Chains A and B, each alone.
Chain A
Amino acid sequence: MRSSLRHAPKAFRTARPVACGAIGAPWLQHTRRQPPSRKLSTTTPTYHNPSSPTSSSVNETEISHFSALASSWWDPHGPSRPLHLMNPLRHDFIQACLSAPSTTSPTTPQPDPNALRYLDVGCGGGIFAESAARLPTTASVTAIDPSPTILTVARAHAKRDPSLGGGKLTYLSETIESLALPAAPADRFDVVSVFEVVEHVDYPAAFLDRVGEFVRPGGWLVLSTIARTWTSWLTTNLVAEDILGVVPKGTHDWYKYINEEELRAHFAGKGGVWGTPRAMGVVFVPGFGWKEVRGSEKIGNYFLGVQRVG
């Protein structure tokens, strides 16, 4: 079963495939474990020192799981179709963040809106990284992913578009822990994006702390994930994976989902480094695509952006 999943392009494998396959398990475990704020406040990260490149937020099973998807990553009708469809909304959300009134102190230099520097963490096949690099307002995109297999796909695909040549888009086979942090805060990134990643890492709080260091003052950390609710379990696990199969089975582990309030609490607890987060909930409408639905950030898929003020 697992080996067949590994070869099928639609198949993801997960750290705990049993947990999502077995109906009823979330209920039991939810009551047994500490609910909502568990992930971000109670988990002890494996590393505290950013300079330790060997420690990693990366879950090995997740890596091999997404690597198996590499060949179908760019197939617009393949298993990554929902991601392709979601990508334009990521830009809409980033635009909304960048054009929001800045909450930094007046003396903080602001990012140049016409020469933005992006860091895309967990870039996969490069759906977001390529699109960001194509924007005329982009100065550079650095895209990292721990899976060399997927980066091969990403690089091969980028080669198909001459406009992505000339050093505007750089793929690095790195984890956020291994990536060198630019010394000067001003050399860090204007936009650091973490799309559909935090629900796949083992220690999201530590992961986000590390990611946050790469955001320059005035810049934005933008992420997207799924809220841990009954609805999201029904839609993303039961319906999308088990019943309809539009998302490869085992892609999501519901227990790793993070609620918007947990993220808000996380950033608020960093002693004024971060501004007030913005959120945008989106809903997948089959046959239409993704649609922004106000308030749905509490229920299912959502974007969250937060400006580094300090």
Chain B
Amino acid sequence: MNTAIRRRSAYVCRSCTQSLQRQLRRTYASATAQPDIYDVVCVGGGPAGLSLLTALRANPVTAHLRIALVEAQDLAKTKSWKLPPNKFSNRCSSLTPSSASFLDQIGAWSHLERDRVQAYQEMQVWDGVTGARIEFDWAPGAAPAAGTTIAYMNENLNLTSGLLKRIEELGGVSVFDNAKVEKIAYGEETEDVDLREWPVVHLSGGKQLSARLLVGADGANSPVRSFAGIEARGWDYNRHGVVATLEMEGEGWGGEHLKTAYQRFLPTGPVAMLPLPGNHCTLVWSTTPTNASRLKSLSAKDFIATVNAAFRLSPTDLEYMHTQESGQAEEYSWRLEHTPLDYRTIPQTAVGVQEGTVASFPLKLRHADTYIAERVALVGDAAHTIHPLAGQGLNQGQGDVQSLAKAIEYAVGHGQDIGVTMALEPYASERYAANHLLLGVCDKLHKLYSVGSGPLVPLRSVGLNAVNALGPLKSFFMNQAAGNGIKVF
């Protein structure tokens, strides 16, 4: 497709921009600053925004676009992020193999610190009330050709840092970090150009960026979304996600090369123990705000005991332990004597929690009414916020970015204005239904397992046991989770 040549000439040619700026200076001599014209202005330097810019820069068809990144934080700090090999950040996400292969395709995967990324091959998911269980494990010789990895656990900072390194390697992105978006407004009409439909991002300090396409990768409270007048609907779960980096008694029952993710559905919400390299794990525990603040107030010893209890003891015991101000360790060791366990089906015992890693955040479901408007596209959390129980939040964002980058590539290759809804429609139609389905599935799962007693409890256990017993159905779910199968989610 003559890509080598396409790269040569800029979408907004430099001379046009310059002449435009001269023109603007002449027209508004009194104005303090004139907008710089960009093809893509991305607000938000999180995983979704950075992946989008990397994808655009890495693709020869879109590499000539003028791109600006606006981020409130200091990206130099993020880029140079470094932790000792035995310390891990508490904000980790699972990356499905399809997300990982996308990151590889845009050249970012190799910029991640790979020895900090942990693949896992099996999952144990069970009902904390009835004990009904589904075990995602591969039979010998039955592993799909695409690999047995269900997902990769990775620190979010490792991803953003790697993406920033890749963007630096590719070059060509005007980065405005430590920058506050003061307002977003529409442009003006001059003798030569009519930018009345172009969003202009006003930064603190007077800098103005005119956007052919303004990308909102600016999180759940997206200012870009507000600017576009797009409603995000949903509800709060009245739950908090408690995260922590834990040190375990060992590398896991399967050793270094066969790691397992564990998730138990408690009536207050699911608790997950996800493997990190070595004998480390990351905890994601969805629970009530009261329990969450109690957990954060506990001593390390009592916190660890409560975490171990969360995977072992009955919901009744846990409920009691949540009421204790301290002494969970002692309570746990007594109850453990009276609790039968199959040790191979639960995570190893946590023996330590890394200092300062216990934190929590409120859980909510939000879905924007649409992902696109004239000259606006929303990606990632700006478009949707999901319950973390399936570990899909970041992957949904990667799916968005991959789709939007494809739509932009197609538009550029066919001479479309990448900001118009006509060019963005394929993105919205490809992602909206898929995300909506996944949001709904996770929401229903949360609600189903929030029930502590009643007729739903045995029913859901029958369902889970049935899926566990039906090999083909289970392997379908596993392939889904691993992103190998037919795309449903």
Contact = CB atoms under 8 A, between A and B. Distances in A.
A–B contact (CB under 8 angstroms): yes
Given A136-B6, A136-B11, A159-B192, A76 B64 contact: no
B30 interface: no
A156 B189 CA distance: 11
A134 B415 contact: yes
Contacts of A76: 420-422, 425
A132 interface: yes
A138 B9 CA distance: 10
A87 B155 CA distance: 44
Contacts of B20: 162, 165
A87 B414 CA distance: 8
B83 interface: no
Contacts of A192: none
B6 A165 contact: no
Contacts of A137: 2, 5-6
Interface residues of B, number: 36
A136 B193 contact: no
B15 interface: yes
Contact of A130 (B1, B8, B197, B415): B415
A159 B416 contact: no
A88 B197 CA distance: 23
Nearest to A141: B415
Interface size class of A (residues with CB under 8 A): 20 to 34
B16 interface: yes
Contacts of A49: none
Interface string A152-177: 00001001111101100000000000
A64 interface: no
B428 to A, nearest CB: 12
B195 interface: yes
Given A76-B420, A136-B6, A136-B64, A160 B415 contact: no
A269 to B, nearest CB: 34
Given A87-B414, A131-B414, A135-B415, A165 B19 contact: yes
B5 A166 contact: no
Interface string B267-281: 000000000000000
Interface in A229-267: none
A84 B424 CA distance: 13
B2 A159 contact: no
A67 B107 CA distance: 50
A127 B417 CA distance: 11
Nearest to B197: A160
A134 B5 CA distance: 14
A87 B193 CA distance: 24
Interface string B162-205: 00000000000000000000000000010011111110000000
Given A160-B193, A163-B11, A163-B12, A136 B5 contact: yes
A161 B16 CA distance: 10
Nearest to A91: B414
Contacts, number: 81
B2 A114 contact: yes
A114 B169 CA distance: 27
Contact of B16 (A114, A156, A165): A165
A113 interface: yes
A131 to B, nearest CB: 3
Given A134-B416, A165-B20, A84 B194 contact: no
B37 interface: yes
A85 B420 CA distance: 13
B194 A159 contact: yes
A133 interface: yes
Q: Name A's interface SS.
A: helix
A88 B410 contact: yes
A91 B416 CA distance: 10
A160 B198 CA distance: 8
A138 B13 CA distance: 13
Q: Name B's interface SS.
A: loop
Contacts of B212: 161
B17 interface: yes
A302 to B, nearest CB: 19
Contacts of A91: 413-415
Contacts of A156: 194
B15 A166 contact: yes
B6 A130 contact: no
B11 A134 contact: yes
B414 A92 contact: yes
Given A84-B422, A160-B195, A136 B9 contact: yes
A103 interface: no
A95 interface: yes
Contacts of B198: 160
Contacts of A135: 6, 415
A234 B37 CA distance: 48
Instruction: Name the residue in B420, B422, B425 with the highest tally of chain A Cβ atoms < 10 Å from its Cβ.
Output: B422
A165 B22 CA distance: 14
Instruction: Name the residue in A87, A130, A137 with the highest tally of chain B Cβ atoms < 10 Å from its Cβ.
Output: A137
Nearest to A112: B5
Contacts of B192: 159, 162, 165
Contacts of B410: 88
Contacts of B37: 162
A106 B1 CA distance: 24
Nearest to A95: B1
Contacts of B194: 156, 159-160
A165 B14 CA distance: 12
Contacts of B189: 159
Instruction: Name the residue in B6, B17, B415 with the highest tally of chain A Cβ atoms < 10 Å from its Cβ.
Output: B415
Contact of A162 (B12, B196, B197): B12
A159 B414 contact: no
A196 B19 CA distance: 36
A88 B411 CA distance: 8
4 A-B pairs closest in CB distance: A131-B415, A88-B414, A134-B415, A136-B6
Given A136-B9, A162-B16, A162-B192, 9 more contacts: A76-B421, A133-B415, A136-B5, A136-B7, A137-B2, A161-B417, A163-B16, A165-B20, A166-B19
16 contacts: A87-B415, A88-B410, A88-B416, A113-B2, A130-B417, A131-B416, A136-B64, A156-B194, A159-B192, A160-B194, A160-B195, A161-B193, A162-B17, A162-B20, A162-B193, A166-B13
Interface of B: 1-2, 5-9, 11-13, 15-17, 19-20, 37, 64, 189, 192-198, 212, 410, 413-417, 420-422, 425
